[in-house]
Chain A
Amino acid sequence: MRSLQPNLTVNMNNKNRRLDNMNGKGEEKRINRRKFFRTGAQTGLLIGLGGIATLAARKAGSNEYVWQLDPTKCTQCGRCATSCIKTPSAVKCVHVYAMCGYCDLCGGYFLPDTKTLNTGAENQLCPTKAIKRTFIEDPFFEYTIDEEVCIGCGKCVKGCGAFGNGSLQLQVRQDRCDNCNECSIARNCPSDAYSRIPVDQPYLLKGFGQKNLDIK
């Protein structure tokens, strides 16, 4: 996390210096038009800097918490993909490998009415083909998420949850999230799944605690 505290200190030093000037220390106290305008400008600048400092302080405070969605509340409505200010969304599908069944017929990978279980594009559920299927041993396959391609639509999460263990889950990826004060996805989330959580525990995964988080 980026701390704004050093900048805040510099601003406060400047503020003290300017307060000294405003109090007229070392200068004569005669007020003329030039000094009036200069004082006015300095006051304006001071108010502006104070505002920036206040915002910066608030930002520094807000950075102790980050946005995250609770998979137990998530209904995979698709708005994580369409409401985020970032393109593609900072919400990604995360694979909790400890929960995965490594299924051949993976509900998160294949379209429900797939006839043949191969990696043909016509068989894949993901609209951006962000899930990679790798053969392990009969009959097990591993599924990995290409986050550069994933748009966070949750379609695979729905499919995995419908038939499987629910090892595919949506999460806000903190390295991609701008941590906006007002998250536009949270505003549009119909199931109130978004909340601010401490930055030192930035992920909420269904079925497993933080220690078991295994994101590849």
Chain B
Amino acid sequence: MKQQLIIITALILLIAGIGYLVIDLFYSESGASDNPYAYGLNELRKSDSSLIDYQEIQHFPAGLSEVYGIAADPANRIYVTGANGVEIYSPGGEKISEFSFPDTAYCIAVTPDGNLLLGMVDHIEIMTPGGEILSRWKPESEASVLTSVATDGTDIFVADAGKKIVYRYDREGTLLNRIGKKDSLKGIPGFVIPSPYFDLGIGRDDELWVVNSGRHLFEAFRPDGSLISTWGKTSTGVEGFCGCCNPSNFAMLSDGSFVTSEKGIERVKVYLPSGEFKCLVAAPDQFDQGTRGIDLAVDSEERILVLDPWRNQIRIFIKKGENNDEK
């Protein structure tokens, strides 16, 4: 009797074991599709929704096949450039005009007199909004990669990711001086630009702000190249910048706050003029994974214009709770 019990127990265990093997081999969901070496950014992509102070109110597609730069003028017209042309949109997103050229422009800015500054692959152009070329010049090096242009109304500043330097020109294209070269005596750390994301802009006191993306720093300069101040924090948290080279782009609000965009962990944030993190404009889950080169502009209504090159869209964000009926 005892022997029979042992045999029956052994048989039950054997059947259970075979059943487990069959289920594991043929019906288990895990296995081949799992990646034991998965690279996990998903945790870092998560964000606290209470930190998002902005909402997307509108988006519309760009007509260019590739888009790289966005700008706004005092009348809140939106200028988009990229492959072979410039498109001009009304504040509401209706296309007003467009013109084309054979090159690709990687950056755009609007001058106080309403003309356009364009950074092409290897040269700078000043054009009228109708597409007429007013001035055109080349930087001194063939290795230049022009990624950003800005003007304080007097001078023109051009960021060169290839040579890791900022050029200051007059309106005729005469080089006045170079800004940002490493100089330990003057406390200038030098630009570290591992990838072609090197942005600059003009602050509310006409100071020049440059992103030293390899060091995760914002650096402010006077036109003569002397360093005023820096801020920035390396962190994978929402309050800092991470990866090899971030932020990739920025724009400035009227109170001197910074709107930044990043690659790797795609997000748009606002920092106070002191450099303290303020809020999120758009969280990583609002972008397609892998999106990079998110250019930014701010119009006179403090609307944040986000150029999404992956979706080929212009996306408009405003502060939550603001009345948008008249915009």
A44 within 8 A of B: no
Q: Let me know if A163 and B39 touch, CB within 8 A.
A: no
Give the size range of A's interface with the partner: 20 to 34
Q: Which of B36, B38, B39, B193 contacts A162 (CB 8 A)?
A: B39
Instruction: Verify A101–B194 contact, CB threshold 8 A.
Output: yes
Q: Which residues of A contact B201 (CB under 8 A)?
A: none
Kindly state whether residue B41 has any CB partner on chain A within 8 Å: yes
A165 and B243 contacting across the interface, CB-CB below 8 Å? no
Whether A148 is near chain B, meaning CB under 8 Å from some CB there, is no
A71 close to chain B: CB less than 8 A: no
Q: Known interface pairs A162-B264, A165-B194, A165-B195. Does A104 touch B214 (Cβ–Cβ under 8 Å)?
A: yes
A164 to B236, CA, bound (A): 15
Contact A139 B38 (CB under 8 A): no
CA distance A140 to B245 in the complex (A): 13
B264 touches A163 (CB 8 A): yes
CA distance A38 to B246 in the complex (A): 80
Would you call B44 and A163 a contact (CB within 8 A)? Answer: no
What are 10 sample pairs from A and B whose C-beta atoms fall under 8 A apart? Answer: A76-B37, A101-B214, A103-B192, A106-B244, A112-B41, A113-B43, A153-B36, A155-B37, A162-B264, A163-B242
A113 / chain B contacts, CB cutoff of 8 Å: 43-44, 236
CB within 8 Å of A: which of B221-247? 234, 236, 242-246
Give per-residue flags for A124-166: 1 if the beta carbon is below 8 A from chain B beta carbons, else 0.
Answer: 0101000000000001100000000000011100110011110
Q: Does B35 contact A (CB under 8 A)?
A: yes
B214 touches A78 (CB 8 A): no
- Residues in B with CB closer than 8 Å to A81 are 37
Total residue contacts A-B, CB cutoff 8 A: 79
Does B267 interact with chain A (Cβ within 8 Å)? no
Please encode chain A, from 96 to 130, with 1 for each CB lying within 8 Å of some chain B CB and 0 for all others.
Answer: 00001111111100001110000000000101000
A sample of 13 more A-B contacts (CB under 8 A), given A103-B192, A105-B242, is: A81-B37, A100-B194, A101-B244, A103-B214, A105-B234, A105-B243, A112-B40, A112-B41, A113-B236, A127-B37, A164-B194, A164-B244, A188-B32
Identify the closest chain A residue to B263 (Cβ).
Answer: A163
| Known pairs A112-B41, A113-B44; A105 contacts B192 (CB<8 A) | no
B contact residues around A125 at 8 Å (CB): 39
Question: Is B303 on the interface with A (CB-CB < 8 A)?
Answer: no
Near B by CB (< 8 A), chain A positions 73-102 give: 76-79, 81-82, 100-102
B168 within 8 A of A: no
Taking a contact as CB atoms under 8 Å apart, the answer to whether B37 and A107 are in contact is no
Tell me the minimal C-beta distance from A25 to chain B in angstroms: 60
Evaluate contact between A103 and B37: CB separation under 8 angstroms. no
**Quick check: is B269 within 8 A (CB to CB) of the other chain?**
no
For A105, what are the chain B residues with a Cβ–Cβ distance below 8 Å? 216, 234, 242-244
Contact yes or no, B244 A154, CB < 8 A: no
CB distance from A199 to the nearest CB of B (A): 29
Whether A78 and B32, one on each chain, are in contact in the complex, defined by CB atoms closer than 8 angstroms, is no
A125 to B38, CA, bound (A): 11
Q: If A139-B214, A139-B215, A164-B194 touch, does A101 touch B245 (CB 8 Å cutoff)?
A: yes
B236 close to A78 (CB less than 8 A): no
Point out the residues of chain A lying under 8 angstroms from B194, CB to CB: 100-103, 164-165
Residue in A closest to B184 when the chains form the complex, CB atoms: A138
Residues in B with CB closer than 8 Å to A158 are 39
Q: How far is the CA of A165 from the CA of B244 in the complex (A)?
A: 9
Please state if A107 and B195 are interface contacts (CB–CB under 8 Å): no
Docked complex Cα distance between A104 and B264 (Å): 16
Interfacial chain B residues near A102, Cβ < 8 Å: 194
Nearest residue (CB) in A for B35 is A78
Q: What CA separation (Å) do A103 and B35 show in the bound complex?
A: 27
- Are the C-beta atoms of A78 and B244 separated by less than 8 Å? no
How many Å lie between the Cα of A107 and that of B194 in the bound state?
12
Considering only residues 161-220 of chain B, those with a C-beta below 8 Å from chain A are: 192-195, 214-216
Q: A129 to B116: give the CA distance in the assembly, Å.
A: 50
Nearest CB in chain B: distance from A127 CB, A: 6
Q: CB distance A77 to B35 under 8 Å?
A: yes
- The residue of chain A having its C-beta at the shortest distance from the C-beta of B262 within the complex is A163
Chain B residue nearest to A80 in the complex (CB): B37
Checking A78, A103, A112 against B44 with a beta-carbon cut-off of 8 angstroms, the contacting residue is A112
Chain A minimum-CB-distance residue to B194: A101
Among A76, A153, A164, the residue within 8 A (CB) of B195 is A164
How far, in Å, is B172 (CB) from chain A's closest CB? Answer: 34
B197 to nearest A CB, angstroms? 10
